[in-house]
Amino acid sequence: MNKTSKIGVSIGLVIIIGLFAWVSTAPYLSNQGLGRTPGLLIGGALTDAPDDFTPLNESVPGPLFMKQAGFPPLVVYLSWVGTEEGVITATRPDDGYWARRVREQGGDGWLRIGDSTYAMEAREILGDQRLEMMQQWADKSGRSLDEALYEGSEPLREWEVFFWEPKS
């Protein structure tokens, strides 16, 4: 094997090891027993957004998949509630990766609900409207705003809220 071939093989191994390491440690959320799922691919069929997301609350149980535009690709599970205009999601106020990315790089992305994937755009909700939306989110999950989602988490009233609307 000549020197050029050895360099090529070495570079290939570094890329493969780096990719494996990234996939193994990519940001993710584990929710409702879905397990560790680093995110790269969202799947589902790209579908035009419905006029009203409310019916999906009953027809699609469990979390949705969210993928943000840009690099690195990131797919996570999120709890959600559909409204007439879009989808409410929430996250702990811990400066989490995906929420920070929405703030810093914009909210372009996709939401997969069931087998349908929708091109959406997120924006953070602040002020009184945040608590109103968080109440809807809490109601869907059968919880109180004063309750923590799990041991060690903040009460739901402190969580950050993001609203996703179909891209035009």
Please write the tens of the pLDDT for every residue from 121-159.
999 999 999 999 999 999 988 889 998 888 888 999 999
Please write the tens of the pLDDT for every residue from 87-109.
999 999 988 888 999 999 899 99
Indicate the domain borders of the chain.
Answer: 29-166
CA dist., res. 121 & res. 102, Å (int): 9
CA dist., res. 62 & res. 148, Å (int): 19
CA dist., res. 54 & res. 60, Å (int): 11
Find where tokens 């903040």 sit. 154
Superfamily in which the 29-166 domain is placed by CATH: Electron Transport, Fmn-binding Protein; Chain A (2.30.110.10)
Enter the pTM of the model.
0.77
Q: What is the pLDDT of residue 22?
A: 60
How far are the Cα atoms of 57, 76, 103 from residue 99, in angstroms, in the given order? Answer: 23, 11, 6
- Written as six digits, the tokens of 52 are 């009203």
